[in-house]
Amino acid sequence: MSTTVLLKSQPAGIITRRRILYAVWIAGVVALFCLHFPHLLADFPNNSPWMDYSKYTDEGWYANAAVRHFVFGHWYLHGDFNPAVALPVWPLLLGLVFHFTGVSLAAARAAALGILGINLLLTWRIMRRFAPQWVALTAVSILVANPFLYAFSRLALLEPLTTCLLLCSWLLALRLRHRSGKRRVARLTAIGVLLCLMVLTKTPELFLAGSTWFLVAWACEFRTGATLRALGIVAAAAVVPWCAWSLLAVRPHYRVDFLYLFAANTWSQPTGLRGHMMAYWWALHGTLWIGRVLCLTACGVAAALVVAAGVRRRFDGADSGRALGFWSNPLSIASLMAAGGTIFFAGWANHPQPRYYAAVIYPLAFFLALGAGSLAARARSLALRAVGAAALAAIAGACIAGTIQIGGYLRYPEYTWWNAAQTIAHTIEQQPASQRVLLSISGDELSLMTGIPAICDDYGTWDLPFRIHAYQPGWFATWNEVDEGTLEDLNTQYSLEFAGEYWAFDDPDRNHLLLFRMLPLPLARQTYDEREEESENAGK
């Protein structure tokens, strides 16, 4: 029976009340999304359960090519940290934004929030292909009222864009059915290009591509010949542009920087079977950062769906999986694959960080909304319907609690990091005789916030003595204390003069920033041998 006939068969009053309820619900979702924009320059929430170093560095690191284009006049700095060589999509997008706004942290964060808005719309469109309106609104509500996603989506990180590209590929894959000829090939090609852009935005997102491949196979009804042809077109469309970028740009010009990005992100691996099992356990445990209630509810829903799938002909006189429409729903399987891909990568890299799970919350929202909706609305077993109703109640409670927590962040914003950055910029500007270049692990972040040119003291393809000789920074900033190895490298050419201390953030290991003026040593006292260093770095 069509939706139109169903609505006509219901009393007009019920239809009107339902429309009013949906209108209020949608207005609430829009209002919550709009609450992401106030206090855009405020700190990442201090004293939150999500300790992540991205708030110190990552916004600047992955935007530094766009920032340098306007600050230095060129996007690439030899010997420094240049992640745009391997991940060019986000800085290219920010470069377009900065063309109109100038270098601005607010503009970068607003761009990330704009992508969040697109992600919410994509979530709605994808869910509506398999679920009624209230189930789709449930998924969107989980996202927009989640304080974890609120906190990380307000940073100009890579995850919002990679999620957007993934959801776009899902939507195209779901629309492949009943398409043929050139239109089908065009959509398959677009899916491949989206996957390529996703990997060029953040390389580990390759682990999410399997979910899109599954949806393409589903669209081909898992027929072997059609599936292989479709996946071949997707693979070619993804590999060709990536190879073109690699062979035409990276290999002849930036090969060292490309390889260095992966070397810098390699973490110590566990030893033995138990060590690897614990790494994957902690990666799975990291999903609790998203929200304990949501994760525990997802476990309960999954258990109920497994039980339902094992009981034949209990619902609608058919197999329970088909009647519930969950395990036969391709979106359910794709969501599990996407979440599993991120968790697997975190365990494989032995480096679960809260920001990684910003890509898990979307498939979790799909899973919860579809699973709880299927149990509550379609199960004939009273016990299973009770589980579904309890799950929906838990989701509603989590959304209400999350909204209250978001309101607390909005009511009491802190600007410790922004104030420290502005004071540092003012101090540097008050010394026109000194070099304006700042040396710091958070230098790219400070450059994004203030426009002060900066290089990194910790990461780079050249050794630090050669980098400071090449770029001659006038200022050095470090968190809490000066590392002995860094001080030794600096003392080959500079002495440090204390210039200020600025409190920022909440981590006891990184909660006050020390600023030093770098004073060049007389040539007779410098121990740096330029010729030896040039020879060493040329060999690298």
pLDDT tens-place string over residues 64-87: 999 999 999 999 999 999 999 999
For residues 177 and 157, give the distance between their C-alpha atoms in angstroms, rounded to a whole number: 34
Q: What is the pLDDT of residue 320?
A: 41
Q: Within the chain, which residues score under 70 in pLDDT?
A: 1-14, 311-325, 379-380, 433, 524, 529-540
DSSP string, 69-115: HHHTSSS--TTS--GGGT--HHHHHHHHHHHHH-S-HHHHHHHHHHH
Q: What is the pLDDT of residue 307?
A: 83
For residues 502 and 43, give the distance between their C-alpha atoms in angstroms, rounded to a whole number: 14
| Spatial CB neighbours of 470, under 8 Å, sequence gap ≥ 6 | 78, 79, 462
Q: What is the pLDDT of residue 6?
A: 44
Sign of the alpha-carbon torsion through 442, 448, 454, 459 = positive
Number of H helices, E strands in the chain: 24, 7
Q: What is the DSSP letter of 205?
A: G
Helix (H, G, I), strand (E, B) or coil at 500: strand
For 396, other C-beta atoms within 10 Å of its C-beta total 14
